Amino acid sequence: MASALAVGLLAAGCSSTPSASSAANSLISQGLYAESAGKTHQAVDDFRSAAAQDPKDAVPYYELGMLDQQVLHNSAQAATAYKRALSLEPRYRAAMLNLANIDTPNNPQAALNLYNELILQNPKDASANFSLGLLLIAQNQPVPGHVALKKAIALDPALARRVPAGITP
C-alpha cells in the first residue's frame, strides 16, 4: 500500500539535500517497505524518525496520515498529520484531498475550501470536482453541486458509476 506519490518524490531526487534529508529519505523508504510488508507499527516508527531527521519534509507526515487514515482508522490523527504536511508544503495535493475527505462529515466548510483550492490548482481534477459536487448537494446547494458532478463525469466518465442512488448529475 506504499504511496506512489511518496515513492515518486523520493525517485525525483532529493539526493542533493543535506545528510539529514538523506537519512530521512532512507527512513521513508524503510517505512514504505515496512508498510507494504504489513508492519504498520514499524512503518509509523520509521516515518516519525524521518520527520525528526528532517522536520521540514512533508512526506513523512503525509505517510503518517495515510497510515492513520487507511490502516489505523484514526481520522483525528490523520487530519493532524495532513495539516502538518500542508503547513510545510501548502500545495501538497494528495494531503489536501485526503484532509478534505476527512473533513467532509464534521467540518464541511473546511472540506469545501480544500476542494475549491484543489480545483483552483487544477480545474480538470475529476476527483475533486466529484467530491465537491456531492458535498454541495449534501449541503443543500444542488445547482452548483450538479454542475460540479457533471464536470467531474465529463472529465472521467467512470465516476458516473459512483454517483449515489437518488442523485442525478
Set out the domains of the chain in order of their start, with CATH numbers: 1-90 (1.25.40.10), 107-169 (1.25.40.10)
Threshold 0.85, pTM exceeds? no
For 45-127, strand residue ranges (E) read none
Between CA 66 and CA 48 the distance in angstroms is: 13
Tell me the residue type at 117: E
CB count within 10 Å of CB 27 equals: 21
How large is the C-alpha radius of gyration of the chain? 17
> Percentage of the chain with pLDDT > 70?
88
Between CA 56 and CA 89 the distance in angstroms is: 9
- Which residue from 102, 32, 91, 92 is spatially nearest to 63, judged by alpha carbons? 32
CB count within 10 Å of CB 110 equals: 15
Between CA 20 and CA 55 the distance in angstroms is: 10
Does 1 score more than 50 pLDDT?
no
**Residue-wise pLDDT tens digits, 91-146:** 999 999 999 999 999 999 999 999 999 999 999 999 999 999 999 999 999 999 99
C-alpha cell at 86: 500542508
> What rounded mean pLDDT belongs to the chain?
88
